[in-house]
Structure 1
Amino acid sequence: MKNQEQARQSFSKHLTLSEVKDLIIFFSYTDVVPFFEFQEGYLFFVNVTDSLRKPWTFIGTFYANPEIGKYVSIKWTKFSSEKRLKANNEVIFTERPRHEGEAPWKKFKLVIKRKIKLFGQVIWGELKV
């Protein structure tokens, strides 16, 4: 039960080479629809806090393309270059609970994980940069 609840509170993906090069991340509509209200072509903001508790705001756009379906793009140019993201890094957006008096939009904690080799074992470690 906890895993199902946790799954509803977060969305994640492994970055592709083109997402790292273009500094834009793409999500399937079905992965992010529980977290946002979309209108095609309109911008929305994604407020996150990184592992160092630094706040960031990304700009997202929802698209409905008849050939490839519905998807969301999130532009994070400065974040991506500052964190030196690489293809296959995993990014995990976890929804933070809203506190009284805070703005009504959702905020997320953003964790970056990278595959590393440690004593001959391959593990996923959280980047703290």
Structure 2
Amino acid sequence: MENQEQGRQSFSKHLTQSEVKDRIIFFSYTDVAPFFEFQEGHLFFMDVTDSLGKAWTFIGTFYANPEVGKYVSIKWPQFSSEKGLKANDEVIFTERPQREGEAPWKKFNVVIKRKIRLFGQDIWGELKV
């Protein structure tokens, strides 16, 4: 999806309980296809910077399953654990420009948003951990 505010490409989703428990996030192929060139069963890497400026590298794999379709899994056990992610947290990846001398794979900023209830209203706030 296009992020109109920043003019950059981004993709996002709300985490499921199983994604939190297993520390693997799944995306439909159509959500992430504009960002990667996939080869089935091959690993790919994502350099990610969180909202505190900490750098992470996530490992992903593309799958084509005749029963469930094409999808991507991204492993992030340390990130998930350190951030204390919960079911229904929203994860937003925004592509950032590649700088000279960086590794050739894609670079992203990641923001985690969590819904809180305040004065009877649901408010989505950025998780700063």
Asked if residue 119 in structure 1 is aligned to residue 124 in structure 2, the reply is: no
Deviation of 1:2 (Å): 6.6
TM-score of the superposed pair, with normalisation by structure 1 = 0.92
Residue 110 of structure 1 aligns with an amino acid whose one-letter code is V
- Aligned-residue Cα RMSD (Å) equals 1.8
Moved more, 93-102 or 108-117: 93-102
User: Aligned-pair distance for 1:111?
Assistant: 0.1
2:4 partner amino acid? N
Q: Provide Cα deviations, 1:61-102, integer angstroms capped at 9, x if missing partner.
A: 000000100000000000001100000000000001122333
Report what 2:81 is aligned to.
Answer: 81
Q: Structure 1 residues 73, 2: CA separation in 2 closer, same or farther (over 3 Å shift)?
A: closer
Return closer, same or farther for 1:2/1:88 CA change in 2, 3 Å cut-off. Answer: closer
Aligned residue type for 2:68: I
Correspondence for 2:36: 36
Which residue pairs with 2:4 in the alignment? 3
**Within 5 A, what are the aligned runs for 1:78-117?**
78-117=78-117
In the TM superposition, what is the alpha-carbon distance from 1:119 to its structure 2 partner?
2.4
Flag structure 1 segments of 5+ consecutive residues without an equivalent. none
Deviation per residue, 1:38-64 (Å, 9 max, x gap): 000000001100010000001100000
The 1:109–1:29 alpha-carbon spacing in structure 2 relative to 1, beyond 3 Å, is: same
Cα distance in 1 for residues equivalent to 2:44 and 2:99: 21
Identity %: 80
> 1:21 is matched with which residue?
21
Distance 1:62 1:105 in 2: 15
Work out the CA distance in 2 between the residues paired with 1:102 and 1:3. 26
In structure 2, list runs of 5 or more residues that go unmatched: none
